[in-house]
Amino acid sequence: MVPLIIAVAFFAVVGAVFDSTSSRSTSDSPSTESPRQATNIAYAYVTGARVNQRAGPSTSNAVMGVLLKGTRVEQLRDDGQWVQIRSNLGTGWMSSRYLSSLAPSTVRSVPQDQGLRASDVRIIDGDTVDIRGMTANMRLVGFNAPETWKPSCTAERRVGERATARLRQLVQNATAIEFERVACSCRPGTEGTDQCNFGRFCGSLFVDGQDVGHILIGEGLAVPYRCGRTSCPPRPQAWCR
């Protein structure tokens, strides 16, 4: 009789432990809602070269700062023409025309019938070109090439000549050429005058879908150079060391 009582007690204890473990495993399992909530975050990418993030959904609202092309932002709310976003500047608004759900690429498709011909582009130096039909020379943005006119040292002049020759080669050998005009980083009202980029306008040049600046940087013939909304940092002296 005693062994029977002991056996019954043993199985009762084991059953209680099993029930306790099952209950704890069920309550401690991760919520099935958290992963779905995490994936609900929507991101967008800035498509303009330098776009204002504003405090409200109109151009009359204050500018919080400038976001560069390719910057990823969190998309909070879409009101049609304006999108509420969160970036490193904080929570603000940006025109929907300058945002895309697609991640940017340094390679872009250039329609043949909308491009320039090589003869339309005259190379002045590694980051300055003359585009036929434009009233001023164009300073290419996003990078800085060595100077060939009044260089700071002999090494800069030599690399500058190589950058100029390489840019000319890229244009002459391209199947498709495209130029995109952007606003210069100068004080309002000074663009096109000697007080802004020596009277030059600003833009980006693409050959066969690639920004020439990315190519020159990759070949060691230029360095990245990013400006703010109304001013640029000192020109880097990367070749005179």
Question: Which DSSP state fits 100?
Answer: E
For domain 42-100, the question of CATH label 3.40.50.720 is answered with no
Over residues 138-165, the pLDDT tens digits come to 999 999 999 998 888 999 999 999 999 9
Q: Where in the chain is the domain with CATH 2.40.50.90?
A: 112-225
Burial 37-69 (b: 16+ CB within 10 A, else e): eeeeeeebbbebbbbbbbeebeeeeeebebbeb
Over residues 88-131, the pLDDT tens digits come to 788 999 998 888 877 655 445 444 444 799 999 999 999 999 99
Please give the model's pTM, rounded to 2 decimal places.
0.55
The CA-based angle 169-172-177, given to 5 degrees, is 115
- Longest Cα pair distance anywhere in the chain, in angstroms? 110
Q: What is the pLDDT of residue 158?
A: 95
**Architecture in CATH for domain 112-225:** Beta Barrel (2.40)
What values do phi and psi take at 7, rounded to 5?
-65, -45
Q: What is the pLDDT of residue 30?
A: 38
Q: What is the mean pLDDT of the chain?
A: 80
CA–CA dist 139, 126 (Å, integer) = 10
Burial 135-173 (b: 16+ CB within 10 A, else e): ebbbbbbbbbbbbbeebeeeebbebbebbbebbbebbee
Q: What is the pLDDT of residue 35?
A: 38
Q: Where in the chain is the domain with CATH 2.30.30.40?
A: 42-100
What share of the chain has pLDDT > 70, as a percent?
Answer: 78
SS3 of residue 240 by DSSP = coil
Q: How confident is the model at residue 168 (pLDDT cuts 50, 70, 90)?
A: very high
At 30, the amino acid letter reads P
Q: What is the pLDDT of residue 91?
A: 93
Output helix, strand, coil percentages for the chain, rounded to the nearest 5: 30, 30, 40
Radius of gyration of the chain from its Cα atoms, rounded to whole angstroms: 29
The token duo for 233 is 């940092």
- The conformational region for residue 232 under phi > 0 = left, psi -120 to 50 = alpha, else beta, is beta
